[in-house]
Amino acid sequence: MKLVGIMILLLVAGGYQPMAAQAKKSTANPIERMEPMNWWVGMKNPSLQLLVYGKDIAAYRPEISYPGVEIEKVVTTTNPNYQFIYLNIGKDTRPGEMDIVFKKGNKTAFAWKYPLLAREENSAAREGFNNSDVVYLLMPDRFANGNPANDSHPDVIEKADRKSLNGRHGGDIQGIIDHLDYLNDLGITALWSTPLMEDNMPTTSYHTYAISDYYKIDPRYGTNEDYKRLSAEAKKRGIKLIMDVVTNHSGSAHWWMKDLPSADWIHQFDQFTRSNYRIGTVTDPYASEADRTLNTKGWFDTSMPDLNQNNPLLMDYLIQNAIWWIEYADLGGLRIDTYPYNHRKPMSEFNRRVMEEYPDFNIVGETWVHEPIEVAYWQKDALNPDGYNSELPAVMDFPLLDALTVFTKEKQGWDTGIMRPYVNFSRDYVYPYPYNLLIFADNHDTERIWEVLDGKIPDFKLIFTLLSTTRGIPQIYYGTEIMMRGKKQRGDGDIRRDFPGGWPGDKVNAFTAEGRTAEQNEVYDFMKKLLDWRKENPVIHTGGLKHFVPEDEVYVYFRYNDDKTVMVVLNNSDEDARTIDTKRFSEMLNGFTAGKDVISGKEIRNIQDSLTIPAKTAMVIELE
């Protein structure tokens, strides 16, 4: 799509609104934006890029006289309405408000007051989400509506329409805050919300992946201050907040699309050109450059201009934006959307710089490919033949998802049925850090697991027991605990239904035991029991994993450390109980004579001889 065509489209899509909180601006001051709006002293990286936007701003020369701060360089582009000021903020610089004076010739034209803030204590030492956590994924528009007054907002185009599957339904940040106790009671320790930044597209803006302002929470969700409050309230309950970050594309309603900093800010074509979505071309040694280029440079959708991460000005902007939100909102992690569609080398720098500021932090990338070797390519320190190192600490285990969604419906074969998860884990040698994989049975882009299983509770219990006790970081999609269903074939809106009870006037409130059915409470209680137990057992977080080849529909594995050994038994047979000869597991059972099943509470004796387990049943046995 040519730039002119994009501009016409955007004039229809809606106008740009400057952030009122930014400027103390006189009529002589042409600046409409300076981003980020503030920064902090004491950061490890002393360099700061300021994107300055305003009519003919490139004609002005900035000067700063603030102890410890120097202008390193000023970069202009072919667009006179931008300049990029690079500052060096010395390690002894004190917090305060500094004047950036803009001159024409020798005369001062105007000044901009820029805040330098003190960091929160131990900010750099923050702990990111890790394998001790359980992540709850929600879509804020569909979770709970805590403030009906902001369902529609004058600053954005699309208004609330709860009757439409793809419309805005009114869920918001206050709704999440109102139900943090619910999440805490379930056993959740990390919260991943799909993007909350402004998405000013005229339709389907509820998913918020077409961002129109990287520094502003969508007003239908709340304010930046609300997001900061969400993080603080979550932290009080031991819940880390993970931000969903989109670096591959912005939205076509983004303010800069009306006046791009430079032609190479986004990838442009003579006509609209969509990605081929062939992520494998990045790693394929025989891939054509044409295919590889189309994967990376093609647009994800008509409303999602593809950003050019090879532009160093843009990349500095995106990196600083992520760091700004981490610092501002006290985040506990990032999830990067559509990760392999980005230019890979600049994204390595993104990860390196974020992790340099926060060494104990965590970032997970959406790596939607189907073979472990493909997923592993994108994890930090992978032994890739081309020498590429992503610097990305965590990746998403889509191959395990593929196994979980079919194994309960198949008979055991050489590589089918209960063999599927076993084979998946047997390939963990390709991962540098297999314990830092995000593992899940569904998410906001897939068929809901309860739809896959057609509501079969025993099958779900097998899957959830495995997710709760194997290596990695479990992720639960909102509503799974109440058996929410959704069919991908009906459209994304169907797999993103409203959580019952999240809206005033809802006839059913599944946030309470009284509002749930007997089956829903059975599932909720089962999940809560396992999650509460998992939270208190480091052996599941970091302990060793040893598994045995499944036999006769039964998969057995052990989690162990110096203090504890846990035996997990999954019987996938839908017909009969199985009595297994446990002598086969002697290398793990030596020294133990009994155990207790965490799920049923049943005491187990003579565990070194045999064990009987009913059909479609899971056992998590603490050995004694």
Q: What is the 3-state secondary structure (H, E, C) of 327-359?
A: HHHCCCEEEECCHHHCCHHHHHHHHHHHHHHCC
Question: Are the beta carbons of 424 and 415 closer than 8 angstroms?
Answer: no
Q: Treating both helix axes as pointing N-terminal to C-terminal, what angle do 344-357 and 312-329 enclose, rounded to 10 degrees?
A: 30
Provide the 3-class DSSP secondary structure of residue 614.
coil
Token reading at 354:
């974020």
Token reading at 411:
């008979």
Of the residues 366, 397, 553, 597, which is catalytic? 366
First to last CA, the chain: 67
Of the residues 198, 306, 337, 442, which is catalytic? 337
Token reading at 39:
């920064």
The amino acid present at 58, given as its one-letter code, is: A
Contacts of 122 (CB under 8 A, 6+ apart): none
Q: Treating both helix axes as pointing N-terminal to C-terminal, what angle do 457-469 and 518-535 enclose, rounded to 10 degrees?
A: 10
Distance, in Å, from the CA atom of 252 to the CA atom of 254, rounded to the nearest integer, reads: 5
Helix (H) or strand (E) holding 241: strand 240-245
- Determine whether 581 is an active site residue: no
Say how many residues make up the chain: 624
Strands 565-571 and 617-623: antiparallel
- Determine whether 519 is an active site residue: no
> ∠ CA(471), CA(477), CA(478), 5° rounding?
140
| Count of CB atoms situated within 10 Å of the CB of 350 | 26
Catalytic residue positions, numbered: 337, 366
